[in-house]
Amino acid sequence: MLSVQSLLPVMAPLLAAPRWLVAFSGGLDSTVLLHLLVQLHRQQRQLGHRPPPLQVIHVDHQLHPDSAVWADHCRHQAETLQLPIAVHRVDTTAFDRGSIEQRARRARYQVFEAVLEPGDVLLMAHHQDDQVETLLLRMLRGSGSRGLGAMPAARPLAAGQLLRPLLTSPRSALEHYANEQQLQWVEDPSNASLDYERNFMRLQILPHLSHRWPAYRTTLARAARLSEESALLNAELAQQDQKQLQVDGSNTLAVALLARLSLSRQKNVLRYWLDQQQLACPSAVQLEVGLAEVVGAGPDAQPLLQWSSAEGQGVQLRRFDGMLYALAVPPPIDTAASYPWDSSAPVTVAGFGVLSLEPCASGGLDPALLAAAKTVEIRFRRGGERCRPSGRAHSQSLKKLLQEYRVEPWLRGRTPLLYLDGELAAAVGYWVCAGYVAAKSGLDICARLEPPGQSITGR
């Protein structure tokens, strides 16, 4: 039976959190959760404890004509309970990919991630029926063990964490509690529309399951927990494999060592590796292609596999010098453009990022020459450039120097070049040309890239 006492074991470890934030839609589920948390909060204070401040967050997706009325209902409920509430109106059209449900979810979580401060706990009212629906929908989409783990009871989110304290409770328990406590909530008429996958599952499929298999909620929720355990074991194995494959301490994988693993472990570690870099994973078919064409390519090949997530994030899988690279698709650079630089302040280069100067002990750019230059510019390769790196007897073409320095091919055209009075003075991150190096202390040119992930830094 749902009660404050049944909620206490889940919430007790979080009594020292800075804040409890309740995601409150105004519907039945979140109304029950909010009421339970208020009762728990009062109980803890009566016992002489100091539970975290309780705050309410409502996201108005503006997808229904009555959404403003629902927001007012949520404000009224919060005021009645003497709780602070923040109402956030979002524009789902800002997300140009995915279904309405997916766009609304992305907009909602964008709000949650923005408001969470370190240590905060975001509480959501998902219950056992939601878990079963999620599991079945992911099965129909062909998800692996990680996806079939459905919704975790707790997980990190931005600077805080997300908790679903009602995940083991069936919706019937929430309905019973709401009626017993005479709670008021709003009903979203879209919940009856069969146009949405989840509604179709809930209204058309699950009643038939319930008739034939009355205990399906319990058994499928158990299946989700077992899948989550399998996913955790896969992650532990992938973590061990990744440590073995990152032989030089960088965020690349040694292809020769990867090829020694079984195909299943190759897939497992690649998914984990991409996830650790917050890059979208490819589909099962794309992953097969990646292993065959990128990992299995000849030693001199420079293969490329590219895909996009549902949100539009582009990802590239590349191979160079025996190592596997994963990176976000970089924005284009206008290689014909020049970027004047007042070196007293950072300069933003479209498609690349921000360049700034910092003091260095030796080997850096001569600050006197920089100060004396009439023009300071950032350019990119256009062809025909030459330079004699400091300490060398002869100049070489920029093309050969970049090859010699083992610069990844896809970065060679994106390497910023510093020009003083029209003369090439430095290739940012790699060398300073002869005649431009400081005798003693000099300047490093530091790069902050867009998007982050590649390492072009140095003098």
Predicted confidence at residue 458, as pLDDT, reads 37
Class of domain 4-224: alpha beta
pTM score > 0.85 for this model?
no
Per-residue model confidence as pLDDT tens for the chain (459 residues):
888 899 999 998 999 999 999 999 999 999 999 999 999 999 999 988 899 999 999 999 988 888 899 999 999 999 999 999 999 998 888 776 777 888 888 889 999 999 999 999 999 999 999 888 888 888 888 777 777 777 888 989 999 999 999 999 999 999 999 999 999 999 887 777 787 888 898 889 989 888 899 888 888 888 888 888 888 899 999 999 999 998 777 789 999 999 999 999 999 999 999 988 888 888 888 888 888 888 888 777 788 888 887 667 789 999 998 889 998 888 888 888 899 998 888 888 888 889 988 888 777 888 889 889 999 999 999 888 898 888 888 888 999 999 888 889 988 988 999 999 999 999 988 889 998 888 888 888 888 877 654 545 433
pLDDT for the residue numbered 358:
87
Topology alike, domains 4-224 and 246-327: no
Which residue is associated with the tokens 């050969």? 400
Q: What are the domain boundaries of the chain?
A: 4-224, 246-327, 339-449
Of 3.65.10.10, 3.90.1150.10, 3.60.21.10, 1.20.59.20, the CATH number of 246-327 is 1.20.59.20
Tokens of 240: 């061990």
Contact predicate 236/269, CB 8 Å: no
